[in-house]
Structure 1
Amino acid sequence: MNIIRRAIQASLLLGVVGTTAFAQSLGDAKKAIDAEQYQQAKTILKKLIASQPTSGENYFYLGNVYLKDDYTDSAKATFNKGVSSDAEYALNYVGLGTLDLGAKNPTAAKAKFDKAISLVKRKDNSPYLYIGKAYTNAVPADYASALANLTKAKEINEKDAEVYLAMGDAYRGDKKNSEAFGAYRTAYDMDKTLLRAEIEQGKLIKQSKAFQESADKFKSILAINAKYAPAYRELAETYYLWAKSEPQQYDARIKEALQYYTKYLDLTDRSLESRMRYADFLVLAGEYKSLEAEAQQMIQMDKANPRIYRYLGYSLYENGNYAGSVQAMKDFMSKVDPERIIANDYLYLGKAQLKAGDSTGVVNLTKAVDIDSAYAEPISELAKTEFSARKYGLSAELYELAVKNAASKTYLFDYFYLGMANYFDYASKTPAVQKTSKEALVRADSAFSLVSQKSPSTADAYLYRARTNRLLDDDQNSKGLMVPHFEKYIEIILAKPDGLTDVRNKKNLVESYNNLGAYFLKTDQAKSKELFNKAIALDPTNEYALSVLNTLK
């Protein structure tokens, strides 16, 4: 009987030892998160939750992984479950507050952060640490609030390397690179296993365009841990930027960059999360064929994640599938929270719609420019395309958007063509339609006026302003609206060395002299005759000038 009892006890002991050997802890999950092995982290955390359903900590870290993956609904549900399971655990309230910041609701976020702080144990700095991270990562970021909370976290525990790492992120976001570098160095000095701090130092070096030194830094990290995936990703992005800065080495360095990213994917199990990081890199590198292939594969893995449809929409547009791009972008926007739609999304949808023949794309392009006026610049090319296709009304709408960015390199060019598009839009209409409204001419005149003010030597601005004002004037009771502009055009052209020899100049001078001659015909025949003679001098066969001069004789 004793033998049987000892055998059973031995068996049970072996079972316990075996379970302990293969059990994974929260520490393992944190290591997986740091190494960007998010699928592995989720697997560990879900098992921990199943075995420890009342531990709020596991829910918090799982919710954070969902946040990194952009699954905000899953993150919210997980944080709420954490609160239900352990209402006294502070960090799930921080997680919910972080979501409020993402939803542009800082008041609700602060209420949840305050709730978390009210639950803080005397030596626990973690709520302040994660509140600081939340403010750093918010869009827009609030670095003052981030650093205020991180400073409190440091006061509670000055030996916490994670606090210095987070402070480095906040300083870097606030463009205080010296302070950031010092914070990262302190973090690593405190904890030599904290390779993330070394990664962030390398990113600062890369930011200063010291690409060789940056690459050396990341390679030194791999000498410590050859399986640390983030270092391969940073190497890939370093080599991409290095390639762009030295075009003669572009192909070789892009090839290396892609090899490093492949290694990154291999070390992160090619999970959906790591593939999305790779997709971000492909967007950066402009590798749209590869991006489309990745997006198609990711959709087979998860049809619900909205970011995948964004990648697909961008790549399909760049690869010439405009109808497909429109559908993908609409799918993306229908799945994602409206607050997460960025200017570039509206830009791509609008461009794709126009390319697909849908003029309502202007509505989405307008939304892009309303969010960020810098997006007005790429619209210039779209406007030019529509102008070349003689779609003058649509072209004018697009140029109206293009000129909203005064810092654009094509600003004056766009304003000139804004005038041209409105002028030709009016001119292309039937006389009956022209009689109902001259608003297009008013807009054209305004555009040409701005060009002539900003660039007084641009002769064509005066020529087209003169033509525009001729149409704006009353034929029966002319006020001479065109006169000063034709006169200014003549003055500029005659001052040019080729003013009287260039074929186009001569033709436009004849037009100017004839229009001015006709205007002065009723009030000053001597001046009128002089102007028509100047037209004949340039074009001896000009029928209009000859007929008027014959009448004057």
Structure 2
Amino acid sequence: MNVLRRAIQASLLVGVVGTTAFAQSLGDAKKAIDAEKFQEAKTILKKLISSDAAKGENYFYLGNIYLRDDYVDSAKATYTKGVSAEAAYPLNYVGLGAVDLEAKNASGAKANFDKAISLAKRKDNSPYLYIGKAYTNADPADYTAAIASLEKAKEINEKDAEVFLALGDAYRGSKKNSEAFGAYRTAFDMDKTLLRAEIEQGILIKQSKAFQESADKFKSVLAVNANYAPAYRELAETYYLWAKAEPQQYDARIKEALGYYTKYLDLTDRSLESRMRYADFLVLSGEYKALEAEAQEMAKQDKANPRIYRYLGYSLYENGNFAGSVQALKDFMSKVDPKRVIAQDYLYLGQAQLKAGDSTGVVSLAKAVEIDSAYAEPISELAKAQFGERKYALSADLYELAVKNAASKTYLFDYFYLGMANYFDYATKTPEVQKASRQDLVKADSAFSLVSQKSPSTADAYLYRARTNRLLDDDSNPKGLMVPHFEKYIEVIAAKPDGLADARNKKNLVEAYNNLGAYYIRTDQAKAKDLFNKAIALDPANEYALSVLKTLK
């Protein structure tokens, strides 16, 4: 789950306090959840379950913590125990429905949600409230379904501040920020102790890049409760974004951000869950030395949590330990549900494999692009590096991935170098190998063709297409495949005001005139002579043109 999703989820864990013999203790658990002291909350809830195993609501809140932290199997098992303990309590069915949404089992989710609704008392809006939260929290989220369910919860109890808080989350997720802000404000107006609503307003302000105003909002929350941990976390993330927006203040603001996050950790008892949020922040801020140290500490605390290996994989790569990164990411992927592996995981794995000398990194990078084509863009830099090292075949494979994102800023550049990589891969092979590698030339020709279509003034696209087609042609019976492309190259250079002022252009023009002259010797010697004379005009000492003209005379 990404950082934003977990930020929303924190608010989803807090709900209605039941009037039971353990109400105060359950209230303490909810306060701990709201303050993001998840280890403390789990301890309280497990004690409640141990003391009275028949109360379904304790299982529900414990299951919510597990689900929030990606322990889906543990969440499902806990909700199931809750149903067994108190079959008439509706919310554990909501929890099971949320698990179904995680498994992409929409019909199972609906059945569980319907069961929860059927068990609720007439004025109990909690099933609709938590069904709405489940849809907001699903991956992918269904904000339309979430809002529809939350509206039903509001119809049952229009004075429930939790409903408006949840509506704010759903509206924010669906990019309706004005409606979200209004819902959060209403929630806080209804319940001045609901500091989470103020936090969410500050997040919306932060998203509009009003960083000072956002920081002021979070500090106003701390003025009410100086130990409210989420405010410190949001201050940290605000100062990080502020630092990026104003590079001249980057070092100072990043230092402040890290200080706020340290305060957040201190207030949340440095539980594994809090440390993971901190690790997410370190990924965002590029603090990979700190991330590696944090991941190593988390591994000591809980070696079973697969996300720790993700953090290790990322940080080890960034810190230059490529073999270690490969192993950590493979450990992560072997332990986690395949649905939890994201494009960035494959990007890091592929990069680490290539750096470690393993060409199968291309396969991992292909998976990254398959999941999200936006990851084609950073692959362009990898391809460029391999081209610079003259690893043309590998470079061509990488450029094949890079061009899968037509929206990339480097799209045409990547296509040109895709052609170049294939051209040079062929050209550097032995004649025996070349015979079986002509497909490289076909790929190169196709790439240069696209560049010339999209950017007709790019002279080198015609030059390299001509060179490619010269190699594709039949030496013993040439069909002149290169001719139109050399002619177009000459035309484009001639149209440039300073085309002949460039020494490289002159050299390439001589190549074009000589190749065209050689082709026309067989069919039009007058034209051939004219072309060779043009070559000599640019390069009076050109031996090839001089010798051919001498022969023709």
Establish whether TM, by shorter chain, passes 0.5.
yes
Does 2:38 correspond to 1:38? Answer: yes
Counterpart of 2:17 in structure 1 is none
Shift of residue 77, structure 1, vs aligned partner = 1.4
Shift of residue 416, structure 1, vs aligned partner = 0.4
Cα separation, 2, equivalents of 1:248 and 1:400: 38
Q: What does residue range 290-439 of structure 1 map to in structure 2 within 5 Å?
A: 290-439=290-439
Retained in 1: the 8 A contact 2:536–2:546? yes
Does 2:204 correspond to 1:204? Answer: yes
Counterpart of 2:469 in structure 1 is 469
Of 538-547 and 414-423, deviating more is 538-547
Counterpart of 1:7 in structure 2 is none
Counterpart of 1:3 in structure 2 is none
Counterpart of 1:253 in structure 2 is 253
SS in 1 for 2:499: coil
| CA deviation profile, 1:467-492 (whole Å, cap 9, x unmatched) | 01111111122221111110111122
SS in 2 for 1:36: coil
SS in 1 for 2:500: coil
Retained in 2: the 8 A contact 1:218–1:231? yes
Shift of residue 322, structure 1, vs aligned partner = 0.7
Counterpart of 1:514 in structure 2 is 514
Q: What does residue range 442-481 of structure 1 map to in structure 2 within 5 Å?
A: 442-481=442-481
| CA deviation profile, 1:267-324 (whole Å, cap 9, x unmatched) | 0011111000100111111111111110010000000101111111111111111111
SS in 2 for 1:327: helix
Retained in 2: the 8 A contact 1:221–1:231? yes
Cα separation, 2, equivalents of 1:353 and 1:77: 37
Shift of residue 23, structure 1, vs aligned partner = 10
Counterpart of 1:277 in structure 2 is 277
Cα separation, 1, equivalents of 2:371 and 2:85: 41
SS in 1 for 2:209: coil
Counterpart of 1:123 in structure 2 is 123
Shift of residue 22, structure 1, vs aligned partner = 12
Larger Rg: 1
Retained in 1: the 8 A contact 2:22–2:48? no
Counterpart of 1:215 in structure 2 is 215
Residues 121/22 of structure 1: CA separation in 2 closer, same or farther (3 Å cut): closer
SS in 1 for 2:399: helix
Does 2:235 correspond to 1:235? Answer: yes
Shift of residue 85, structure 1, vs aligned partner = 1.2
Cα separation, 2, equivalents of 1:514 and 1:355: 43
Of 491-500 and 359-368, deviating more is 491-500
Q: Give the total of aligned pairs.
A: 534
Retained in 2: the 8 A contact 1:24–1:44? no
| Counterpart amino acid of residue 299 in structure 1 | A
| Counterpart amino acid of residue 337 in structure 2 | D
| CA deviation profile, 1:79-100 (whole Å, cap 9, x unmatched) | 1111111122111111111112
Shift of residue 433, structure 1, vs aligned partner = 1.9
Shift of residue 358, structure 1, vs aligned partner = 0.7
Counterpart of 2:28 in structure 1 is 28
| Counterpart amino acid of residue 393 in structure 2 | G
The alignment-based identity, stated in percent, is: 84
Of 94-103 and 329-338, deviating more is 94-103
Cα separation, 2, equivalents of 1:339 and 1:108: 18
Shift of residue 551, structure 1, vs aligned partner = 1.3
SS in 2 for 1:141: coil
Shift of residue 217, structure 1, vs aligned partner = 0.5
Shift of residue 542, structure 1, vs aligned partner = 2.0
Shift of residue 247, structure 1, vs aligned partner = 1.1
Cα separation, 2, equivalents of 1:499 and 1:225: 70
| CA deviation profile, 1:446-470 (whole Å, cap 9, x unmatched) | 1111111111111100000000111
TM-score of the aligned structures, taking structure 2 as reference length: 0.95
Q: What does residue range 164-183 of structure 1 map to in structure 2 within 5 Å?
A: 164-183=164-183
Shift of residue 199, structure 1, vs aligned partner = 0.5
Cα separation, 2, equivalents of 1:164 and 1:498: 66
Unaligned runs of 5+ in 1: 1-20
| CA deviation profile, 1:139-180 (whole Å, cap 9, x unmatched) | 111001001111111111111110000000000000101110
| CA deviation profile, 1:311-360 (whole Å, cap 9, x unmatched) | 11111111111111101110111111011111111111111111111111
| Counterpart amino acid of residue 452 in structure 1 | S
| Counterpart amino acid of residue 212 in structure 1 | Q
| CA deviation profile, 1:421-454 (whole Å, cap 9, x unmatched) | 0111111222122222411111111111111111
Q: What does residue range 73-222 of structure 1 map to in structure 2 within 5 Å?
A: 73-222=73-222
SS in 2 for 1:132: helix
| CA deviation profile, 1:501-525 (whole Å, cap 9, x unmatched) | 4221111111101100011010000
Retained in 1: the 8 A contact 2:350–2:362? yes
Retained in 2: the 8 A contact 1:168–1:180? yes
Shift of residue 50, structure 1, vs aligned partner = 0.1
Shift of residue 500, structure 1, vs aligned partner = 2.8
| Counterpart amino acid of residue 372 in structure 2 | D
| Counterpart amino acid of residue 340 in structure 1 | R
Counterpart of 2:499 in structure 1 is 499
